[in-house]
Amino acid sequence: MQYGYFDEKAREYVITNPNTPAPWANYLGSPDYGAIVTQNAGGYSFVKSGAAGRILRYVFNQFDEPGRYIYLRDEENGDFWSASWKPVAKPLEEYKTETRHGTSYTEIISEYSGIRSKALYYVPMGATHEVWRISVENLTDKPRKIAVFGYAELTTESFYTQDLVNMQYTQFITKTEFHDNFILEQINEFNYPRPDGTTGRERFFGLAGAPVTSYTGRREQFLGRNRFDRPQSVLDGKCDNSLNYNANPCGALQFEFTLGPGEKKTAAFLLGQKTVFEAEKIMKRYENTEKTVDHELQELITYWHGELANLKICTPDKKFDAMVNTWNAFQCFTTFVWSRAASLIYCGERNGYGYRDTVQDIQGIMHLDPELARKQLTFMLSAQVHHGAGLPLVKYSHNAGHENTPDDDSYVKETGHPSYRADDALWLFPTVYKYIAETGNTAYLDEEIPFADKDTGSVREHLKRAINFSMTHLGPHGMPAGLHADWNDCLVLGSQGESTFVAFQLYYALNIMKEFCENEPEYVKYLDDTAKKLLKVLNEKCFEGDQFIRGFRDTGDIIGSKNDKEAATWLNPQSWAVISRAATKDQANAVMETINRKLNTPYGLELMQPSYRYAYFEGARMRLFNPGTKENAGIFCQTQGWAILAEALLGHGDRAFQYFSESSPASFNDDADRRVIEPYVHGQFIEGHESPFAGRSHVHWLTGTASTVMVGCVEGILGLRPTAKGIEISPAIPAEWDGFTMEKVFRGKKLHITVNNLAHKQGKPEKYILNGKERDAGLILESELTEDNKIVVVM
């Protein structure tokens, strides 16, 4: 079934049937003030941390409740409904609604009983409060008397878990007050500011653009003995002007008005963690509600559409375009900003950035905003330990040069991360490379950045130490040891087990470093010798004719040998053999055929096959997951991006696009009940063929899938492959496409690219026509480009 569609002109996903198989969410705000909102207005808000700065209560994994509720009541007959379909949930035959999730705002437009309402939710640019603008329009030819109620369920405590489980304390530390047009919640009113100087003790819920006619600050009073679909105050037509003392706080405000035929009225509810003084100032700003809101919304749209503007494609596949132009790109910014902090799955308890996750996330926005990417990349380099490894968890409060590391008990105790991962710092190589390639800023390699614990060094030095970390942690075959984990969090190989995936990553890193250290012949020789040695081991010990093994256990036993009963063929070593350029052409073709034969399903490639059931070993922790799930032979979506890229690098456009389509959210737009989560965002994994729910996806929004699939599409399928010197355009597309166009801004220069595929090839273009001049396909030097370029790529 289909619940909505992509409106690419507006860059919105429009949900037309709100009864979706799961809450379909959007992100508002920034890490200073974040909010998640669903098509039924469910979701929560927080200051800085979803776990430690929670303002709005939300009960996970239940009924998508509570939310930012706006109720409307016909004062003549007492009938009432909500501006979002739920919580009141009038029959959908009578209640017409659409939710427009846009770039950092959501608008829910509904019509019921001749009244049209528009609830717009957003956090203004740079602000730390949120706005729920409500406009109500009378579509009938009679005057209508309407009452509007806004409801915000405030937490009793900023610590979300305390709010939910320690009521013997939290219910007795808050009370609410009514000030002119807003409810103020006080927490620990008579307490001193916290040690960090913040108070975080006052929140407000206010109404601008209309006078409040009744209010309550007490949840029990608003709801009575009912639930959100029939709040007592709404049934009664007014709140009782009561306040909270020793129970559950809330903000509930009512206003009413009469609308003549065709007349419209607009007001705005406002919410934030603010003192009385700050709240009053914010309220004032919205006195002229429509004007302020229009301006703020426009500001958001201008900013976000600007962020997405560096690449715009137009291909024969509109779903592909919607993902690349808008939704995958917006998701990449979301993961870039929020890491794995807060969603409807994560609640903000992970108090920092995962090293590999974040270094990967940075790649997802590189083609759109490389300078923003650089800031976070520099931050992550400063979280590299002096011996080259990445800190497994980089605290939000990270203080470069002064951090403890997994070598210190205090770090282990504080973060729960006992040791290093084999791969973390190796993700820096593709990320630094992509930054330099997108910008041409090779001077970045000389930028001095401190290490996490002690020492400082240039970016180049950081990378050298990353290589050194791998080289000082080799296993018995001379391949990188698997340590606490490699990319696969469930594979614990220790200091004697070895990982082929990391070996390919290291091989890739060694070759990139050859480019970065051109002026150091001795070091280049070392890199070259090391790479050759590594390649020899990979070929002699890890290649089985049509696949690479996954590695070695600490016992020396092979993991992922083709005749194994379980976990015999693994996806990542094959795709990375190609991406790292370690595989010869024949090897590459052979291993990619193998994964197609053994791992592919209608919903993407499984991570390995068959799943672990009985023949596992101690370090194979994925055995805990049900077969076909997550790392135990699920379709781990991040890895699809690498498979897409690998096929594209080989010029196999049909396969690359097939892998994209199989697991792309948009492909499920008309089969949304199968996928369950949003058809406009990637999830962490899809259940594989061994699950009775094959095709169902999980863990929406905050996942590494966003960045790798983005890279797979941009560098792979679209073939936009910059290097330090310029850019190569080498699309790998379905043979049936006649061609497509791309508008790309590259180092400030405009590239209008037309790909002509009348030859119906899959990849490896024949020639370019660059500003009217024909030339061979290949690298276009930056110096060959003018401010505005017409490039025809002839396949």
Sites of contact with ligand GLC (CB under 6 A): 354, 356-357, 487-490, 631, 684, 704
* Share in percent of the chain as helix, strand, coil (round to 5): 30, 30, 40
Residue 503 near residue 483 (C-beta atoms within 8 A): no
- CA 700, CA 717: separation in Å to the nearest integer? 24
DSSP string, 585-652: HHHHHHHHHHHHHHHEETTEE-SEESPPSSS--TTBGGGGSPTTBTTBTSEETHHHHHHHHHHHHTT-
DSSP 111: E
Query: Measured from the CB atom, is 488 or 669 closer to ligand GLC?
Result: 488
| CB-neighbour burial class of residue 474 (10 A; exposed 0-12, middle 13-18, buried 19+) | middle
- Minimal distance, residue 551 CB to ligand GLC, in Å: 14
Reduce the DSSP state of residue 269 to 3 states and report it. strand
CB of 332 to ligand GLC, least distance (A): 15
Q: Which residue in the list 229, 455, 489, 654 is annotated as catalytic?
A: 489
318 sits in which H/E element: helix 318-321
* Alpha-carbon distances of 228 from 22, 41, 769, 788, rounded to whole Å: 18, 12, 63, 56
Both tokens assigned to 780: 């276009």
SS3 at position 112: strand
Q: Which residue is nearest to ligand GLC (CB)?
A: 489
CB 170 within 8 A of CB 157: yes
Q: What is the closest distance, in whole angstroms, from the C-beta atom of residue 89 to ligand GLC in the complex? A: 35
28's enclosing H/E stretch is strand 25-30
Task: Answer left, alpha or beta for residue 472, where phi above 0 means left and psi between -120 and 50 means alpha.
Answer: alpha
Instruction: Supply the minimum distance, in Å, between the C-beta of residue 357 and ligand GLC.
Output: 5
Q: What are phi and psi for residue 439, nearest 5 degrees?
A: -105, -25
Closest by Cα among 723, 737, 734 to 778: 723
Q: Which parts of 425-566 fold into alpha helices (H)?
A: 428-439, 459-471, 500-516, 521-542
Give the H/E segment covering residue 498.
strand 494-499
Closer residue to ligand GLC (CB): 669 or 707:
707
Least separation in angstroms between CB 710 and ligand GLC = 16
In the complex with ligand GLC, the residue whose CB is nearer, 239 or 493, is 493
For the CB of residue 705, give the shortest distance to ligand GLC in the complex, in Å.
Answer: 8
Nearer to ligand GLC, 67 or 704 (CB): 704
Q: Which residues pair with 149 in a beta bridge?
A: 71, 254
**Of residues 727, 736, 718, the one with CA closest to residue 783:** 727
Half-sphere exposure of 339 (CA within 13 A, CB side): 24
Catalytic site residue 654? no
CB 382 to ligand GLC: min, Å: 20
* Of residues 155 and 639, the one with the C-beta less far from ligand GLC: 639
For the bound state, the minimum distance from the C-beta of residue 622 to ligand GLC, rounded and expressed in Å, comes to 8
Rg (CA), the chain: 28
Determine contact, residues 186/245, Cβ cutoff 8 Å: no
Q: Are strands 749-756 and 788-794 parallel, antiparallel or unpaired?
A: parallel
Cα 307 to Cα 325: distance, rounded to the nearest angstrom: 11
Helix (H) or strand (E) holding 144: strand 144-152
Gap between the Cα atoms of 4 and 110, Å rounded: 15
Closest approach of ligand GLC to the CB of residue 355, in Å: 9
Q: Which secondary structure element, helix H or strand E, spans residue 755, and what is its range?
A: strand 749-756
Alpha-carbon span 321 to 7, nearest angstrom = 11
771: left (phi over 0), alpha (psi -120 to 50) or beta: left
Nearer to ligand GLC, 695 or 704 (CB): 704
Closest by Cα among 701, 579, 561, 683 to 634:
683
Dist CA 615 CA 604 (whole Å)? 25
Considering the complex, state which of residue 631 and residue 715 has its C-beta at the smaller distance from ligand GLC: 631
The catalytic residue positions are: 489
